[in-house]
Each structure stands twice: as structure tokens, then as C-alpha cells.
Amino acid sequence: MVNLALSLLFTLPLISNVRGCPGEDHDHTHTQHRRAFPQAALTPPTRALEWGDVNIIHTTDSHGWLLGHQKSSFPEPNYSGDLGDFASFVSHMKEIALSNKFLAQLPYDVMAIGNHELYVYANTLDMYKNFAPKLKGRYLSSNVNITVLDEQGNVISVPVGNRFAKFKTRKGKKVTALGVLFNFTGNDKNTTVQKVTDMVKEKWFLDAIEEEPDFFLLAGHMPVVKDDWPLVFNAVRAIHPQTPILIFGGHTHIRDCVQFDGRSMALESGRYMETVGWMSVKLDRNGSSENLQFSRRYLDPNRVTYEFHTMQRDLTFDTPHGKSISSGLKDLATSFDLDFVFGTAPRDFTISRDPFPSNGSLLTLFATEAVPVVLSINNTRANIPNIIIANSGAQRFDLYSGPFTRNDQFTASPFVDEFFFIPNVTAGIANQVLPALNNAGTNQRRALMGELERRESELYGRGYVDMVYMRWLEEMDKRGGVERRAAQNMTLGYVTQDSCPGIGDDVVHAPLPFFPSPDFIGSTPPNVSDDAPIDLVFVDFIEQQILQILNTVQTGKNYTSADVATYSPVLSNTVLGLYAQQAWN
């Protein structure tokens, strides 16, 4: 048996293709006091997992949610298990495997590099020098190199980890594993991400896959659909037409599964420790062409789920190792003062579960209340009327009622953007900018759409995936969301539809409500005449779009970056905390 999943802080039988996406360069560890058992009434699973010859536990895109989701509003309780609970879960699952005469799995984790390690060279260097060696050849970076000096002082480019790993399970099954990163373009200097289409032509790759194992294990920070896994799969299939191939993807934050043929399965296991993925397969003899029997499941990571599948009770579930991890994480979070309370949020504010604009919309709160209040603090231009524009994607996670902590601030609004402005734009012109940015029916918007599509493709290459995740939520709600939410016996959560057979979700939920929001949001326009000069304020991330639109809604002046200046020293990721101190105390 092989049990594989994610391990960030300790050695467990795991596989990870994770480290995350941009906007969260801090490790936000969630710091609320760990509960002995979820306080909310959680729906337990209704069926046992299907075990096979190979059984894999998988996580991806955890983004530092090591103490779980501890807010009381659904769907957060579904994901309330912390990393200590997860450690206990994996330990019990390993014991179950042994009692069922499946042998214990690998002595070390299999992990694959993600884009998060590559934004800053120092982080990559730390992974190369300190982290990868501890995994003894099981930290895989098939297409990612780092430039370093060798012992003689020569400049060399070498893999951050290992390009591949070959090993045997204790049951004697031969495994060839690779770790592949998508075509990431946001890496720092002195790091290299080779395109997947070039990687599969490399001699080392062809040599690595030449010998047939009992199965190929392809772990990578790359979506299982609409990306380059088929390139890797087809390269392997060209040499080994029947060898089982198990693929574990990530990066787009969704639950997904696809089978490229009857002897393979590719699984993606969500984000933020909201999903623990499970895959099993019953192997057959080498050379067989029959379809293999796979199963997959998306588990809600909470103690109810963990205890159900390990056949434990609350008093017997925690292992000493799991308890020590929970305690250590709590101490670490305390040392970073992440439980500092800015104020008490009066209600939940959501990104897509409440319409925009509305009192429950986080985008409304941010644009029309928080930003205007915060940018007026100690600002010499506070008395000059303004319009403030931001991109809605800068808000990353819902804000829940109750204490609003430094940790919650990082969670809801992690992106570090400056506020720029153009002075003396007449109100009549400035008032046209936001509608032009969002109005698909205008000539200006149509001209901008090509730029936005190009920008989305560019952002994806740099690691931004919120647009994919939001489309997934929207599709989920359209599939009978109203009807399912009307059922009294369903809690809110993910309702997954993928292309693999059977039902993937471990617990039946009603999908979250979804309301679309514009790409750009703004403050309430000032009550001044059209010819009054005002400040046009915006986050630096959208400077080029602002200039482009500004030069299409008027022809009296050609605005350039030379007309742009810094409006405030306040950064966007501090706005909600500063506002909470002003308004929620």
C-alpha cells in the first residue's frame, strides 16, 4: 500500500503538489483556539472509503491553513480540522491499512514544487539547501532549476529538488515519480521553469521513464484539466501503453478529476485545507489492457469526517504526535501575534455569496466604506473630492462575524497594492472611468476586452487563479443551487461535478449561493458638478487599464504614467484592519 499526502512540518505518508499561489507571501497560520470537537452540527459521511492496492491521501494549495477554518458560519465548520487532526487521521489510516494486510507506505513524503517557492530567490535557495535534502530525494522539481555556485565557485543551474524518484513500496511495487510545475512565468531571477512541452523531450526524462514500473506517480502543481498534464501523460503512454498512471494536480483551487484512459486517473484536491483527496486503485498484472478499478473521494477535513473513516471516537482520535503539532502551531501563531483583534465584525461579509452591491458584500464594504475611511487618515488631500477604484479580485476570502484578527486581515485581503492617483481630473470624466471599465456594451469595454483576456492569461502564468475558482463556484450554483439549499437536511459546501465515474464528494451538501461581481469596484462618486476637479485614485495593479480607459473617455489630454503619483502610504492589505479599528470598536 502507498499512502501519500501533504506534509509541511512533519513526516507522514503523504504526497503533495502544493505550496500555493501569490498574494500570500506570509505564512498565515490560523490561530483561533483549537476545539476538542466542532461546535457546529456537521453531516457525517455515509459510506466508507474504497481501498485498493494503492491508496493515496492528497492535499494541495494549503496556503498556510494549518489550524483549520475555525469560524462558525457555514461552510467554514466543514473544514475545521487542524494539521494536528490531519496528522492523527493519517496515522490511524496507516494502522487500518496494516490491519487489512496492506503494508505501510513510503518512509518519506513525495512532494512536488509549486510556484510559491519561486517568487523570491531566497525562498527557493532555502528550499534547495535546507528543505529538499530532508526529504532524501522525494522533493521533486522535474522542470524547475535554481542557479547557484558550486564548490569551485562556478555558476551552475541545478534542480531545486530531484527531477524524479524511483522506489519500491514495502509490498515490492516499483514506482517512478515525477513532480511537474505548470508553465509559471512569475519566478524570480536565477530560477528557471522549463516549459512542459520542452521537458518531455529531455534525455533525462526519456531515460527516467524508459524502465517500466508497476505504476507511474505524477505529482505536480498543475491543473488536471485545461493544462499540460496530457503532454506528460502522452509522453509516458508512447513508451508504456498499459502501465497504470496516477496523477495528482493542483493550483486552480477546485475539486476535479479526469481519466485520460481506463488505466489512469488524475485528481485535484481543492484549496486552503478545505479538501483532503483520496484515490485508490486495484492493480492487475503487467501488460494487461483491461480498465483498472479506481475510486476517488473529496473529504471535508474535520474531526467528524476523520473519526468516521478511522472508526475512532473523540476520546481516542488524537494521537500524541497530532496533539504536539496543534500545540506547536498555536505557539508559532502567538509569536507572530496573529490573534491581535482589530475590532468585532458585526456580520458576515462575503465575496460571492451576497450580491454586489449589498450590505453583506465584502466588495461593497471594501470599496464604499473601508477604503474611503482609511485613505482619509492623515492624508493632506483628504478634503479634495475623489473617486477610488480597485479590482475586485484583490479581495481573496470572506470576512466572518466576530473578532476580526490580524490573521483574518491576511486571509481576506492578502495582496500588497499601493494607492496611486491622478489629480485634477474633472468629475464628469472621472465618473465615466469605472462604468467604462465594467460596461461590456461600450466601445471602450470591447477595446479593453482583448487586453483583459491577455491580462488573464498573463496572470494565470504568474500564478493567479481566482478567476478559475470563481467560475467553478458559479457553475456549481447554477446546477440546482436554489433547490438544494431549500432542502433542510443539507449544509452548505462544495457540490462537485467532475468527469470521473460515481459521486466524488464524501458528504452531500447544498452549494453556496453565487452572485457575479464586476471586475472593478469603486467608491461612491462625490456630489460635485461635472466640471469640478477631483482626484482619481486607484490601486497600482490596474494603472495601465485606468490610463487606457481615461484616454478613451476624453481627448483633451493624453494621460501617461508621468501623471500618476502616490496617494497614500497605506497599502491595500492593511485597509480592513485599519477600518475595523475605526468602525468596529
343-352, pLDDT tens digit by residue?
Answer: 999 999 999 9
Mean pLDDT value of segment 418-438: 96
77: preceding bond cis by omega (within 30 degrees): no
* 403 against 98, higher pLDDT: 403
* pLDDT(333) > 70: yes
What are the tens digits of pLDDT across the range 290-329?
999 999 999 999 999 999 999 999 899 999 988 988 888 8
pLDDT band for position 108 (cuts 50, 70, 90):
very low
DSSP conformation letters of 553-581: H--S----GGG-EEEEEEEGGGHHHHHHH
What's the confidence (pLDDT) of residue 452?
60
Three cell numbers, residue 216: 507511474
What's the confidence (pLDDT) of residue 258?
98
Helix (H) or strand (E) holding 422: strand 418-426
What's the confidence (pLDDT) of residue 196?
98
Amino acid at 223: P
Main-chain dihedrals φ then ψ at residue 388, nearest 5 degrees: -115, 130
513: preceding bond cis by omega (within 30 degrees): no
The alpha carbon of 150 is separated from its chain's Cα centroid by a whole number of angstroms, namely 35
Domains of the chain: 15-335 (3.60.21.10), 341-480+513-583 (3.90.780.10)
What's the confidence (pLDDT) of residue 440?
46
What are the tens digits of pLDDT across the range 365-423?
999 999 999 999 999 999 999 999 999 988 999 999 999 999 999 999 988 899 999 99
Task: Give first-to-last CA distance, the chain, whole Å.
Answer: 54
Q: If you average pLDDT over every residue of the chain, what do you get?
A: 87
Q: Tell me the pTM.
A: 0.86
What are the tens digits of pLDDT across the range 14-57?
444 433 333 333 333 333 434 455 567 898 998 999 998 888 88
**CB–CB of 284/267 below 8 Å?**
no
Q: What is the dihedral of CA 545, 548, 554, 555, to 10 degrees?
A: 160
Q: Which residues does residue 418 pair with via DSSP β-bridges, in sequence order? A: 571
pLDDT band for position 101 (cuts 50, 70, 90):
very low
Beta-carbon contacts of residue 179 (< 8 Å; ≥ 6 apart): 17, 110, 111, 112, 113, 139, 140, 141, 142, 161, 164, 219, 220
pLDDT band for position 484 (cuts 50, 70, 90):
very high
Three cell numbers, residue 313: 471516537
Amino acid at 472: W
